[in-house]
């Protein structure tokens, strides 16, 4: 599968919850503006509700959003579960002009996993398939997935890679 969005050899600021907020990314961008891509902290998809566009833009980083070059270098990471309103969120993200998203299937945090998100989903490929299908059918931009080899073990790794 070819990728038209990311260069084959890229320098990427990886996402980390509680660290890669917009202020941190703006600072890194000012020092390492030659890096290729910068991932945001994850944005938790809401349950049965919708964010205001302004909230998403603030999470993304307003100065970054308002600078087309920086916006194109930034990937908005989302955290979804089987219960969240993921499809409306990704449609909204696309409509406001964010062209790259990443689904977090790697977070090991107990709080995230207790809500059936992050790495917890790695034990349930059928749920991942449902979430990924909803995103891919409703979001036209670049879409990647951050994963681990597994949650409890690595038995589903190949299935998940195929998804």
| Interval 1-22: pLDDT, tens | 345 555 567 788 777 778 888 8
pLDDT in tens, 74-90: 999 999 999 999 999 99
How many other CB atoms are found less than 10 A from the CB of residue 50?
A: 12
Length of the chain: 163
> Helix 86-95 to helix 125-138 angle, to the nearest 10 degrees?
30
Helical ranges in 20-85 per DSSP H: 22-31, 53-60, 62-66, 68-72
pLDDT in tens, 99-152: 999 999 998 889 999 999 999 999 999 999 999 999 999 999 999 999 999 999
Q: Which entry of 70, 80, 107, 112 is annotated as an active-site residue? A: 107
**Local structure of 148: helix, strand or coil:** coil
Instruction: Write phi, then psi, for 96 (nearest 5 degrees).
Output: -85, -5
Active site residue 107: yes
Provide mean pLDDT across the span 16-39: 86
Distance, CA of 103 to CA of 116 (rounded, Å): 14
């Amino acid at each position: 599968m070819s990728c038209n969005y990311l260069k084959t050899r890229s320098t990427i600021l990886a996402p980390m919850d509680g660290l890669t907020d917009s202020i941190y990314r703006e600072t890194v961008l000012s020092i390492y503006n030659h890096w290729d891509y910068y991932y945001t902290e994850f944005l938790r998809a809401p349950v049965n509700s919708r964010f205001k566009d302004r909230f998403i833009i603030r999470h993304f980083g307003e100065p970054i959003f308002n600078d087309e070059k920086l916006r194109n270098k930034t990937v908005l990471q989302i955290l979804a579960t089987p219960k969240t309103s993921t499809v409306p969120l990704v449609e909204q993200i696309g409509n406001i002009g964010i062209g790259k998203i990443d689904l977090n299937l790697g977070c090991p945090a107990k709080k995230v996993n207790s809500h059936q998100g992050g790495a917890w989903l790695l034990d349930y490929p059928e749920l991942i398939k449902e979430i990924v299908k909803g995103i891919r059918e409703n979001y036209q931009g670049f879409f990647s997935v951050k994963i681990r080899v597994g949650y409890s073990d690595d038995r589903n790794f190949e299935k998940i890679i195929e998804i």
